[in-house]
Chains A and B, each alone.
Chain A
């Protein structure tokens, strides 16, 4: 394993500037790591030639002193972002051979900043899942293994499982994810990474395959908080092509990492300690509170009374929106087509063949909850509860500046260790979903290991558009936690 792949983005940026190595060398080191790690199945499409071409261009710009904020840094791009000329599949058969004629705003921004994309990372199909097991191209394997039994393959979490695995295995320095109910934060927790879902509206959704429009947000997954701040800065920004894109100034996220959180009030929501919360996670959380206290912050118990309804709310709203968003996948203009004697038969066969079980499940639920006679009882009801959830947070933020919770209810589980009940899988997002329903910024960082040597994460939730405070507190915790563990063999 090359020394170059052990660097953080911040370190690599510095090294490139100091000419200790080139962008091409950086790219090659990571491409070699990728080639050696095909067993993780983290990538849907690898683009080494394109990457090297970009790296060469980065070196030219570096030489001229025209380096962008992400110049020469190798990253992975979740295969939910449409990338011009490069196959973009959403890890679905229905888009298996789709080559976009356009570039998503966010991936375009990263490229304009000089980032070198090594490939498109795998995900749960259409971003629906918490394990990356629903990808049409096979599950992704977590580079982390249990100390007790390293032979068991573990999930990296989802839906941004491919990105998480690639970053944790040091195949890339950072990767983009998207988060609708926890799809950046939960895999970050399972893979020992920092992942941030910014405020809804911070990142443009243009060119990202839509799952649930009122929830989807792009965000970075990295190994350090500084790297997340760095990468986030090259992803956010107002986009006139997205009507839900916020026209707000982009702060200097790195500058926010002052290390000083004295006087900050940290909310500890009592509802995030449900019956059955594992002792391990509970202790992790308490340790986190102690770290913040030591750093001069004040923990404050708060109540977010509607927390327990967030999962149900999400599983009405998200499927409803997705059932409509996925109607365009019909075999007419792009993607897979299965022939039919009639138009309707073509639609039905194409979509049955193209979508996996979880996607189908969510489309059916979504169609049902919007249908005549049920719209008020389910969809409208859910949107009302959503407002209550958002109001809970707004009220809490009158007395606290940031909220600390666990990210996931457990460490990464084994590939074969799930049951048939879809709801069991959904429970993985119980701590992350409320943040999404309220559109708030949420970050996960690793602060400890489970008794079986697997990373565990804590979540920080902030006020709308206050990623700066969230990042600042995260960095303080990162230092205090001193999490240096890496997957075996790295």
Chain B
């Protein structure tokens, strides 16, 4: 079922490629020893090298190299044993050197792939073209002064991994799924925190449209979209814009555009679009980067179980659906939490509780999986109480809310509130007898065909027992007595 946009002249396909800039998790910058933390006072995390003072020289951060290789392995990509750092030359106020040290012809990582988990449970594979290391630029503030822009170089020189996909995506949803999956992988690997709001992961989308069967048409680039939701909106808008251009008889221009989140539109960047000739050449202040197979192997051995593998294992070991498994493994901490809850218990029940009431409680209380509203041990304990019939599933929900409120263990709460389920057959029979006796007319109506009244009787029995009667037993005995 492919995604198309219906225009005046027929159906149009989308072709989408994404370039993601992911800030590498490292203490210091790619080529300088300055710190990389977010939110510092302006120009306090700037070394002389970052400020491009005369005579300054780059020295590469070994950890950044490892992080790039680790990411490449996580993307099932080819690690290039030799790569070269090249200067990308252009002028901008947040680019102190007048060039960015990047990689051009010889990137550190080659082709790989990302498997997308689509909302309907299917998967699609998107190719990775390459990954390379490069310096981030500083920050310009254009809205602090009427006629001047302010420049903060704290971010200048921070290590980025530029991850370029192949133009394999065909819908805004696929693009969203790609970014979601990529972010998940990077977080699992510990190579990028994927915080789009803070800018540690940024997306540029290359969008073009075409009629089915055509070769690729001209693409436009939408820069720096900082949320997955905006990414989808921007792609959708841009695709329609291009279709309108073509259907009006025009040509799409290869250009860079910005997404205006307020208006929901993309617009052309005013800035100098004339020939961005970057004049790439190997940086003469550096040497080629040569890796050894042993170096790469050593990193490979430290890779965690990644989302795809974990998802497959969850499907196999816990008999979960691909959809459920996919949701659980999106965040590693969540997956770990689930496994702690599911260990030695009914996995499906564990899954339902984690994805249901527990996730809702997290959202409600504004907590995160690193500081959960209920511990895995306690949630597991609650499930145990349901499994051994101490409480009913419905009562368990109440107990759970009390766990969130009070932080107490489930057994403690059940004890304190006297919520133990009534499973004594005799007690239930007595309760049922009482209800049936008090509602003789309804009993007669039921026996003459009004089946819906069964629920009424169940409700009355629950009321009588303060909600503690075991529902299954109530049903069974009630059926027998009603006939």
Contact = CB atoms under 8 A, between A and B. Distances in A.
A and B touching (Cβ–Cβ under 8 A): yes
5 contacts: A205-B57, A244-B57, A324-B98, A327-B97, A333-B53
B188 to A, nearest CB: 32
Secondary structure type dominating chain B contacts: loop
A344 B272 contact: yes
Given A240-B59, A344-B91, A100 B54 contact: yes
Given A100-B53, A243-B59, 6 more contacts: A207-B55, A240-B59, A242-B57, A343-B149, A371-B279, A375-B281
Task: Give the bracket for the number of chain A residues in contact with chain B.
Answer: 35 or more
Given A214-B284, A244-B287, A324 B57 contact: no
A372 interface: yes
Contacts of A73: none
A332 B151 CA distance: 9
Given A214-B284, A375-B279, A243 B54 contact: no
A272 interface: no
B355 interface: no
B60 interface: yes
A206 B97 contact: no
Contacts, number: 100
Size category of the binding interface on chain B? 20 to 34
A324 B286 CA distance: 14
A327 B285 contact: no
B52 A328 contact: yes
Given A208-B55, A324-B281, A379-B281, A243 B97 contact: no
Interface string B36-59: 000000000000100111111111
A125 interface: no
| A contacts with B: majority SS | loop
Contacts of A86: none
A320 to B, nearest CB: 6
A212 B52 CA distance: 16
A210 interface: yes
Interface string A70-113: 00000000000010000010100001001011101000000000
A59 interface: no
B96 interface: yes
Contact of B48 (A102, A320, A324): A102
A331 B98 CA distance: 12
B51 A333 contact: yes
Interface string B127-167: 00000000000000000000001010000000000000000
Contacts of A207: 55-56
B89 A334 contact: no
A393 interface: no
6 closest Cβ pairs, A-B complex = A327-B98, A370-B279, A213-B284, A214-B284, A207-B55, A328-B52
B21 interface: no
Contacts of B52: 328, 333
Contacts of B296: none
Interface in A313-333: 320-321, 323-324, 326-328, 330, 332-333
Given A327-B99, A379-B281, A370 B287 contact: no
